[in-house]
Amino acid sequence: MTQPANSPQSNRKRFRVQDFARAKEEGRKLTMLTAYDGVTARIFDHAGMDVLLVGDSIGNNMLGHENTIPVTLDEMVVATRSVSRATTYAMVVADLPFGSYEASPRDAFVSAARLLKEGGAHAVKLEGGARIHDHVRLLTESGIPVVGHLGLTPQSENMLGGMRVQGRGDAAAERLCQDALSLQDAGASAIVLEAVPTPVAARVTEILAIPTIGIGAGSQCDGQVLVWTDMAGMNDWSPSFVRTFGEVGKALEDATRAYIAAVRDVSFPDEDHSFAR
């Protein structure tokens, strides 16, 4: 998908880790969507997305799993490679999947290095706060940019008692703030806040020098992220905080039905769609 010479995108530069801080300083809202393959990544990149997140949400959105836990590092490498090859402008952030980083900072480094070397990611995302401070510190000191993830952390849903809002109550809100400061201290470039009460997310955003990117955390975060299949109306069910910006699922189903009908009534292929002339 080439850019016309006079297109606004033609002068666009790759979004880099330094642009996180610049966006926060300028008050410019950051945009992020998930992407799991080259086809959609190219479209999102062309549209002007700042960041594409190769999320472990590939598990329950593309691979047929009930949650993110079964996703492997090998699967994340393949998905990340597909997305990174298709993008020219957006920064590609890849999730470290469950079991690939928790045990030690060294495990986190080995896994993250694969996502950069084999997958072409520009940064990685980890779930957790103060408990992974040393993991994040090792990565950032080794030249691997990190995006944190606090609030509802899907990899820990068994410990959290399900997909529930996090940070409710003064004590929980204070822990969330301290976790965010710990990640910032360790060198994280940005933090995703998921399913956090709006006032708590606003407080975290206020106390941090690095940007927050919300998902179900209100409008006062420094940016927003959505799972693209939710955003585009591809799923039968989406969380209550999601707004559907298009009915891509219905359009695809309609196109499929039209194709089936055309094949069966022999209106396709016709002379204009055949090499047998």
Q: How far apart are CA 96 and CA 74, in angstroms?
A: 11
Q: How far apart are CA 94 and CA 146, in angstroms?
A: 10
Q: How far apart are CA 197 and CA 83, in angstroms?
A: 32
Specify the amino acid at residue 137.
Answer: R
Residue 194 annotated to the active site: yes
CA 155 to chain CA centroid, nearest Å: 14
Among 194, 206, 247, 253, the active-site one is 194
Binding-site entries for Mg(2+) = 56, 95, 127
Binding-site entries for 3-methyl-2-oxobutanoate = 56-57, 95, 125
Active site (catalytic) residues: 194
